[in-house]
Amino acid sequence: MTSRVTHLSRVIVHILGIMVFAVFTAVGANIYIPLPWTPVPITLQTFSVFLSGAVLGGTYGPLSMAYYIMLGLAGMPFFAGGSAGFARILGPTGGYLLGFVVASFVIGKFIGKRPGFFNAELVLLFGIAVVYFFGVLQLCIVTGFSPADAIIKGVLPFLAGDIMKTFVVAGVYSKYHSFFKKTFQ
C-alpha cells in the first residue's frame, strides 16, 4: 500500500510540475518587449525553459514545454504578447518554441551529471545554443534572412539577458540540487 501511495504522489508531483512550468512559461511570454528591427521579442520564457530542465529533468522538463506549446496551439494566449495558434509555430518565432522542448531535454539530461554551479552554467549555456539554433534556423526559412542576419536579429539582442538568466538558474539549481532531484526527478 505504501509503495502505491508513494507512486501516486510522485505522479501527482510530476503532473503538477509539468502544469506549473507550462503556465510559468506562458507568464514569461507575456512579459515581453517588442523590438522594431526583429520579429523576435524579448521575453522571460527562456528563464522558464532553463529552470524546467534543471528542476524537472530530461523527461518532465520537455513535457512541460510540449504542454505549453500544445496549450498555445489549442488557443490559450500563451505565446508572446498573448498570442496563440499554429501561426506562431509556423512563423518566424516558431523555431524558438520548438527549441524550448529540446533545450529543456538537454538541460535536464546533463545538468545533474556533475552538480555544482560551474557545470550547471555550462549545461545552461549549451541550452541557450540549442534554443538559438532552432530559432535561427526557422528565422532563415520563414523570413529569408541570411544566417548572419538571423544571428544579428535573432540572437545578439537576447544573448546578454539569456546569459544573466542562466546565472540565476545555475545558482538556484546548485543550491537546491538535492531537493530538486529528490522531489521532481
Interval 49-63: pLDDT, tens? 999 999 999 999 999
Model confidence at 140, in pLDDT bands (50, 70, 90)?
very high
Radius of gyration of the chain (CA): 16
Task: Fill in the DSSP letter of residue 80.
Answer: G
pLDDT at 181 over 90: no
Distance, CA of 177 to CA of 151 (rounded, Å): 33
Model confidence at 127, in pLDDT bands (50, 70, 90)?
very high
Average confidence score pLDDT of the chain: 93
Residue whose C-alpha cell reads 518532465 in the numeric block: 60
What is the pTM (predicted TM-score) of this model? 0.93
Say how many C-beta atoms besides its own lie within 10 A of residue 2's C-beta.
6
2-184 has CATH 1.10.3720.10 classification: no
Distance, CA of 128 to CA of 184 (rounded, Å): 23
pLDDT digits (tens, 9 = 90+) for 1-28: 567 768 788 889 999 999 999 999 999 9
What is the SS3 string spanning 94-126? HHHHHHHHHHHHHHHHHCCCCCCHHHHHHHHHH
